[in-house]
Structure 1
Amino acid sequence: MPISKTAHKIDIVPTWSFRDDQGRTLDPQLFILLRHIEKDKKLTSAAAKAGISYRHAWNQLNKWADFFGTPLVELEKGRGARLTALGDKLLWAEKRVIARLEPQLDNITSELNLELSRLLEGSRPSLRLHASHGYAVELLPRFAQGFELDLQYRHGQEALASLAREQCDMAGFHLPVEAIDSQMRAQAQKLLKPRAHRIIRFITRQQGLMVQPGNPLNITSINDLAREDIRFINREPGSGTRQLLEALMHRASIEVNEWLDSSGVEYTHSAIAAHVAAGMADTGFGVQAAASQFGLDFIPLAQEQYLLACHQRTLGMPAVKTLLSNLQSEAFSNEVDKLPGYRAEQSGEICMPDEILSGESGI
């Protein structure tokens, strides 16, 4: 099954604009150059990959050094190039901003592309999906072949509430693979009716603690979150990932205190990883794929099942039939396998709500 390619597609990417008190502005292409310098440690290859000449890259770095009053890159003969403290801080600031804004930008992108497609290609079968943000869900627009996917990111419980109000055709949420926490089960049972709804297995993913490379503070389990020397970056209240963490802490008899938010909160797995990678926290809770993306070590704590809920009648929609076929395809499985900690063995399997929501109280 070939991956869908749309002739006209918009991607929204945040860019920076720097202006000093004299009104001078500089080209945001700097971040492209800094990213390649960080990776390659050579200005020649970084300039080539940024699509500019070595001389232009050198001039840009000098202009930025003059603008900020301090260099962003240090060049040493025989040792290549490396970012200074300010250059490193700017690059991590960009990564954090992109990670934090990603769900909102993706929501707007989905709306614009849907409208653009309707204007240029006419009306096609559509599927409204409200879902918890995640790496595997981001793959779905590429497999929306023959129908329009209106993907909007919501917390899992918000997505299920949208489904109950018939504001979407399908809702994406996640639950632990092992016995489900009683509160999580009760929330889902309240919104999913055994006779009216069906659940489609999507993927499983590994959640755990992200730590600095080499794990210098020797963080090994959920119990280490109670240590006074650990700075923890938490997810926002209401997110499924935070609910899972608090359930794990409850099982380990660790009191959930406000100090867990002492380093602040972030709104995506990648934002958590960027926060830890920048040294602004010692650890954070999220998916393994995010830790891998930012070069962090990972301590697995729980496996989750990411699920798609819909009304029974929705299964007859042409778009849903196509989606199910694509979820069961080798092409989709191969893409999921590229995400560390993700698996798609049962993807596309249809279940009754009770099959998923039954189990003993506690994780």
Structure 2
Amino acid sequence: MYNNSSYTIEEVSQLLKISKLTVYDLIKKEELVAYRVGRQMRVDQQDLEIYKSKNRIGTVQKEDNHLSGENKETQHSRQVVISGQDVVLDMLSKYIEKHTSHTPLRSYNGSLNSLVAMYNGECDIVSVHLYDGDTEEYNLPYVKRILVSQPFILMNLVCRTAGIYVKQGNPLNLKGWNDLAQSKVKIINREKGSGARTLLDEQLRINGIPTNSLKGYEDELTSHFSVASAVASGQADAGIGIENVAKMVNVDFISLIKEQYDIVILKTNENVNLINVIKEAVTSQEYRSQLEQLNGYDLELTGNVKYETI
């Protein structure tokens, strides 16, 4: 008979009869050992047993008291999972930690994967920068389709410039999306589910460029920084990303589109306070002054509610 030697986060939550957010919090506090396999986090059976042994309580009475205290605490605070990769989310996480009793936990998934995670109840706040080639609109078409049965609020954090990283001096004289299909050009791609990958795929689709005409299309990295670094080191001639990262790496940048970097929060009774906290955060002078220190970000729409279901 086959025995599992490791568990997913969902399986751990079922075994311990706690929420997945609590499991993530235990991992963050290093009370439970975990490791990543690709984008998935897993816990070895042995480490789970070690955690259970360390937290055994001698009597039923003590265990009841422990649980009672835990429930009392969660009445006033909660773990909040924030999914996305931009540094502005790290800044938002620190604001939440500083000004509320909530415990922010960070997940670094791409936009589409984050939305799916929210649909599955695994995230509280997700960032999106998903371009829709049919409407030439960012984010809302995707959010409506994925969260079709759930009320939500879509709010802008920043606007960013997206485009193509090229080697310094742009030796291949690349100018736009169509140039990526040239036989002399090798690209480095982003992973499926990321906003940059969606932008490229949509531009290829609306421009009638088959994906198999791009050399390197199947080669994937998982961040703007790693893509820009691959171009700088000569592993590729071009890659899709955002402008501010180009300033950190020795690459040139071809500006092609202004994108909205928004956040999504589900409108539930549990999230009423969280939504108010986020609105307060993104419109506060403290948060805006931090954003103003960053290169390549436009704050004109910051804090604007782009869409809200009734």
Deviation track 1:55-85 (CA, whole Å, cap 9, x = no partner) reads xxxxxxxxxxxxxxxxxxxxxxxxxxxxxxx
Aligned residue in 1 for 2:295: 340
Q: CA deviation at 1:211?
A: 1.2
Matches within 5 A, 1:166-205: 166-176=121-131, 180=135, 187-193=142-148, 196-205=151-160
Is it true that 1:328 corresponds to 2:283 in the alignment? yes
The 1:224/1:351 distance shift into structure 2, 3 A limit, reads closer
The 1:229/1:333 distance shift into structure 2, 3 A limit, reads same
Aligned residue in 2 for 1:139: 91
Is it true that 1:254 corresponds to 2:209 in the alignment? yes
Is it true that 1:112 corresponds to 2:28 in the alignment? yes
Aligned with 1:211 (options 150, 153, 166): 166
Is it true that 1:156 corresponds to 2:111 in the alignment? yes
Aligned residue in 2 for 1:79: none
Amino acid at match of 1:112: K
Identity of aligned residues (%): 23
Aligned residue in 1 for 2:239: 284
Partners of 1:261 and 1:204 in 2: CA distance: 28
The 1:112/1:345 distance shift into structure 2, 3 A limit, reads same
Return the TM-score normalized by structure 2: 0.67
Answer yes or no: is the 8 Å Cα contact 2:131–2:137 preserved in 1: no
Is it true that 1:272 corresponds to 2:218 in the alignment? no
Q: CA deviation at 1:195?
A: 7.0
Question: Tell me, which stretches of 5 or more residues in structure 1 are unaligned?
Answer: 1-107, 356-363
Partners of 2:205 and 2:261 in 1: CA distance: 22
Deviation track 1:288-314 (CA, whole Å, cap 9, x = no partner) reads 111111032111112211221122235
Amino acid at match of 2:86: G
Amino acid at match of 1:304: E
Greater percentage in strand: 2
Answer yes or no: is the 8 Å Cα contact 1:272–1:284 preserved in 2: yes
* Secondary structure at 2:129 match in 1: strand
The 1:351/1:231 distance shift into structure 2, 3 A limit, reads closer
The two structures, once aligned, show a CA RMSD in angstroms of 3.4
Q: CA deviation at 1:207?
A: 0.8
Answer yes or no: is the 8 Å Cα contact 2:279–2:303 preserved in 1: yes
The 1:185/1:169 distance shift into structure 2, 3 A limit, reads closer
Partners of 1:127 and 1:179 in 2: CA distance: 37
The 1:260/1:128 distance shift into structure 2, 3 A limit, reads farther
Amino acid at match of 2:174: I
Partners of 1:194 and 1:329 in 2: CA distance: 32
Aligned with 2:192 (options 237, 261, 268): 237
Amino acid at match of 1:228: S
Aligned residue in 1 for 2:258: 303
The 1:177/1:250 distance shift into structure 2, 3 A limit, reads closer
Answer yes or no: is the 8 Å Cα contact 2:281–2:287 preserved in 1: yes
Question: Tell me, which stretches of 5 or more residues in structure 2 are unaligned?
Answer: 1-23, 33-69
Aligned residue in 2 for 1:125: 77
The 1:203/1:127 distance shift into structure 2, 3 A limit, reads farther
Amino acid at match of 2:89: V
